[in-house]
Amino acid sequence: MRKNTRPHPKRDCAVLILAAGKSSRMGQDKAGLPFGNRTVVEHLIGLYKKADIHAITVISGDNTPALQVLSLEARILPNPAAERGMFSSVQRGLETLSPETQAFFVHPVDIPLVSCPTLLALMHAMETHPHKKTFIPVFQGERGHPPLLRAELVPGLLAFSGEGGLRKFLETSDALEIPCPDAGILKDMDTPEAYQSLCLLERLSGSPCPPSGRSAHPSPTP
């Protein structure tokens, strides 16, 4: 019988999808916008399921009822302090992580074009660099989303003031940057024009994960 050679950390990985924002520049809730043949948030949930990550939490705000109607294959976690900003949603999600969780992605809902191989590359880097706690995808020298963090950082994140957000916290961590051929890690949809552009790119792209038993990840820079 052929052995499964894919990396295993994903069994203990989770993802926090941040979807509680007001979407003031977009003018409507980004999570529920059409994207391909489903909504943006459903697209992201499908992305993580393709990467064999099933501990998926969507942190919501005023859009909680609309998300509940979608019957998502994920836990919906309302953030009663959403007006305090995105980092409050990160902390809300961290409070509910399973004790078995060894690492977690933090993924803003308005960055939907990340590829599945990028997630696999980050998890592979976590497996091969056991002394690193933070892994960040990089495209052409620029950091993007989603970062992957070990669960041992949770106490520090919960104690962090939130000033400067998650980016400020990551600047103080000894992060390993993982070069990825994936411009999607940088592309957000904060405006209607950006959203239309990403919809077009989604129609043109296709980034399935490799079949089970195979590994496809770029070699991270030590």
CATH number at residue 41: 3.90.550.10
Entry pTM: 0.88
Tell me, yes or no, whether 212 lies in a domain.
no
- Per residue in 77-128, pLDDT (tens digit) is 999 999 999 999 999 999 999 999 999 999 999 999 999 999 999 999 999 9
Structural domain of 66: 9-204
Tell me, yes or no, whether 221 lies in a domain.
no
Domains of the chain: total: 1
Biggest alpha carbon–alpha carbon distance for the chain: 54
Angle between helices 116-128 and 40-50 (to 10 degrees): 40
- Per residue in 32-45, pLDDT (tens digit) is 999 999 999 999 99
Q: Which of 117-126, 178-187, 200-209 has the lowest mean pLDDT?
A: 200-209
Tell me, yes or no, whether 173 lies in a domain.
yes
Tell me, yes or no, whether 222 lies in a domain.
no
CB 216 within 8 A of CB 50: no
Nearest to 85 by CA among 148, 18, 30: 18
| Amino acid found at 149 | L
